[in-house]
Amino acid sequence: MKRLPNKAGVYRMLGEGGEVLYVGKAKSLKNRVASYARGGGQSNRIAMMIALTRSMEFVVTETETEALLLEANLIKRLKPRFNILLRDDKSFPYILVRRDHPAPQILKHRGAKKLKGAYYGPFASAGAVNRTLDTLQKAFLLRTCSDSVYKGRTRPCMLYQIRRCAAPCVGLINPEDYAALVDQAEAFLRGKSNALREQLGAEMQAASEAMAFEQAAQLRDRVRALAAVAAEHGVNVPGVEEADVIAVARDGGRSCVQAFFFRSGQNWGAQSFYPRHDAEAEPEEIIAAFIGQFYDSRPAPGLVLVSHQPPEADLLAEALSVRAGRNVSIHKPSRGGKKTLVDRTLANAREALGRKLAETTAQTQLLKGVARVFGLPQPPKRIEVYDNSHIQGTGAIGAMIVAGPEGFEKSQYRRFNMTGAEGAAPGDDFAMMRAMIGRRFARLAKDAASPVPDLVLIDGGKGQLSAALEAMAALDLPPVPVAAIAKGPERDAGREAFYMSGRAPFKLPMNDPVLYYLQRLRDEAHRFAIGGHRARRAKAMTENPLDGVPGVGPGRKKALLAHFGSARAVQGASQGELEAVEGVSKGMAKRIYEWFRDE
């Protein structure tokens, strides 16, 4: 403490094994550590944290704002035990209008904004984006197809037939008229829906008076579609053109943070979050931690409305402004339309938390039942379920899903590529299960931080169970309960048999809630495995066999395909035939020939 500077910075408290227990920021590192070293007056959580701390690490920053930004980033990356953690941190989807093509494309986008164009959002969910895109297609007839599909069209696709696209690919609309549709769609997404509807209404009236009834009908349908979207997304609160509304509800030691997103005066949906924190955490510190972590990887809007004023709100707003590159304010409204929005968001948070607590109670009872069925000493906190998928040995994929007291933990899901030596003979389910379990638990043996399951559930029968047990026995690990769930006769749900080592096969009553729960786990693993297999099979169908040949770039590939007509013909060609291709030397011909023979 004597050597610490009286400057702003970030500190990490480390435990016995070097694990990060807590990340914090301080205006004065010296004063903050002195407060921890007092020896009394702390809450139970802080006292426990100090008792477990064996060392500390420090980073000095120029300003307290810089310390706050670094703190949020480290918390998200390190996930310390004693910090309030935002659990779900997926990126939100946007609507992208691509402007790098003569006929701009409208599509859903998630992730880094690398494509050129205008981004509108964020939307709370993919479903909200899809519904809006569907309506925009009806209203403005913009294309959604990729550039390669657009380029290859010689006649209109089905979207044109059902009046979802103006078919610019085959010239059924001139570029100027299509550009006008794009401008109208962007005007709507920017919140100018009322002016746009008035304009389209006037055009509809003019077309009707000119007896252009088909054009008037199209404009009428467009106005109706815009009215439907406006009714769903409209907010009409003065001063809330662009804002996020964040409210936190607490009950039973848990909390729910609800966030509504308003852009261009429209409500783009809401999302619920359930941060991990100590039961003593106050709403103000929960909302402060949420804001810091939530906006660590996404730009903040100009206004953030909150249900509870976070401590150091001005500092937090300054940090968000630095990150966003514009002024951001955090405000807790006390009256008017903004307070109504916050109150509505808070009511949603309370309802969502009530549902979550009810689900958690039911989940707790189910896990107690699982412990009873499989003879576990206590309800499992982590269940790992394994399955594999393939077609006659091709495209083999192994899958692991994870479930626990919070339900399915999708961030923990993993897929295993089961081709090659590890997959053994094509179609050998037992060998694939042995390899998959071996890989998973070999990682556990090497990495002490890797989570240990309380129960491993295998989709299969005695053979798969034996293969899994063999793989685990080969590793020096404490025993983990393993069970297999085999489908009933004729794959009849409800007649599944369960297998465990040292125990006779058994079944559960058909109306047992635990059986339904175990079926859901099995079906989720199967869904995840099938999804990976289908994605891999789809990718394989589009791959060119020449793509992997060393030294064969786009030029040689084009020459080979032009000479032989297909990649299959190249595969079957002799070395002499390959040498006859322009640009293919004798050495290259030998390399290509041997490549396909080795395969």
Inter-CA distances, 114 with 75, 110, 214, Å: 27, 10, 40
pLDDT at 124: 76
Give the whole-number percent of the chain exceeding pLDDT 90: 22
- The pTM of the whole model exceeds 0.95: no
Domains of the chain, each with CATH number or no CATH: 9-78 (3.40.1440.10), 94-233 (no CATH), 243-256+272-355 (no CATH), 383-535 (3.30.420.340), 545-598 (1.10.150.20)
pLDDT at 421: 42
Nearest residue to 252 via CA among 123, 171, 338, 353: 353
pLDDT confidence of 537, banded at 50, 70, 90? low
pLDDT at 299: 80
- Give the Cα separation of 288 and 319 in Å (integer): 12
Quickly list DSSP for 458-503.
Answer: EES-HHHHHHHHHHHHTS------EEEEE--GGG-TT--EEEETTE
- Give the Cα separation of 170 and 154 in Å (integer): 6
* Cβ atoms within 10 Å, residue 82: 20
* Cβ atoms within 10 Å, residue 313: 19
What is the average per-residue pLDDT within 237-265?
Answer: 84
pLDDT tens digits for 173-214? Answer: 888 989 988 988 888 787 776 677 777 778 788 878 788 777
Please determine, for residue 507, whether its predicted confidence score (pLDDT) is greater than 70: yes
Helix or strand run (H / E) with residue 111:
none
- Give the Cα separation of 216 and 581 in Å (integer): 60
Contact 186, 118 (CB under 8 A): yes
Residue ranges of alpha helices (H) inside 295-333 are: 313-324
pLDDT at 494: 58
Helix or strand run (H / E) with residue 401:
strand 394-404
Amino acid 22 reads Y
Amino acid 13 reads M
DSSP state of 453: P
pLDDT confidence of 545, banded at 50, 70, 90? low
pLDDT confidence of 240, banded at 50, 70, 90? confident
The number of angstroms, rounded, from the C-alpha of 188 to the middle of its chain's C-alpha atoms is 28
Handedness of CA 303, 304, 308, 309 (dihedral sign): negative
pLDDT tens digits for 333-380? Answer: 998 888 988 999 999 999 988 888 877 778 889 999 999 999 999 999
- Chain mean pLDDT for the chain: 83
pLDDT tens digits for 161-170? Answer: 888 888 999 8
Quickly list DSSP for 488-549.
Answer: -GGG-TT--EEEETTEEEE---TT-HHHHHHHHHHHHHHHHHHHHHHHHHHHHHH--GGGGS
Our CA angle for 328, 331, 335, nearest 5°, is 145
User: Which has more pLDDT, 497 or 196?
Assistant: 497
Our CA angle for 518, 521, 525, nearest 5°, is 145
Q: What residue has token string 């969502």?
A: 352
Tokens of 491: 């794959």
Tokens of 423: 């997959």
Kindly give, in sequence order, each residue whose CB lies less than 8 Å from that of residue 195, ignoring residues fewer than 6 positions away: 187
Q: 134: buried, middle or exposed (CB in 10 Å: 19+, 13-18, 0-12)?
A: middle
Tokens of 300: 């903040």
Amino acid 307 reads S
Residue ranges of alpha helices (H) inside 1-125 are: 29-36, 44-52, 64-78
Nearest residue to 435 via CA among 487, 498, 386: 386
pLDDT at 57: 92
Please determine, for residue 597, whether its predicted confidence score (pLDDT) is greater than 80: no
pLDDT tens digits for 32-85? Answer: 988 888 777 777 788 888 989 999 999 999 889 899 989 988 998 888 988 888
What is the average per-residue pLDDT within 304-330?
Answer: 90
Amino acid 263 reads R
Tokens of 278: 């100590």
Please determine, for residue 234, whether its predicted confidence score (pLDDT) is greater than 90: no
Inter-CA distances, 152 with 99, 131, 149, 544, 565, Å: 20, 28, 5, 19, 20
pLDDT tens digits for 413-462? Answer: 988 887 654 545 556 788 888 888 988 888 888 876 688 899 999 998 89
pLDDT tens digits for 398-408? Answer: 889 999 988 88
DSSP state of 412: G
Helix (H, G, I), strand (E, B) or coil at 309: coil
User: Which has more pLDDT, 475 or 198?
Assistant: 475
Helix (H, G, I), strand (E, B) or coil at 235: coil
What is the average per-residue pLDDT within 221-237?
Answer: 62
User: Which has more pLDDT, 475 or 375?
Assistant: 375
Task: Provide Rg for the chain, Cα atoms.
Answer: 30
Tokens of 550: 């060393």
Handedness of CA 590, 596, 597, 599 (dihedral sign): positive
Specify the length of the chain in residues.
Answer: 599
Q: What residue has token string 């050129």?
A: 116
pLDDT at 88: 64
Nearest residue to 469 via CA among 416, 430, 515: 430
What is the average per-residue pLDDT within 553-576?
Answer: 80
- Give the Cα separation of 193 and 222 in Å (integer): 12
pLDDT at 423: 45
Our CA angle for 92, 93, 98, nearest 5°, is 140
User: Which has more pLDDT, 137 or 196?
Assistant: 137
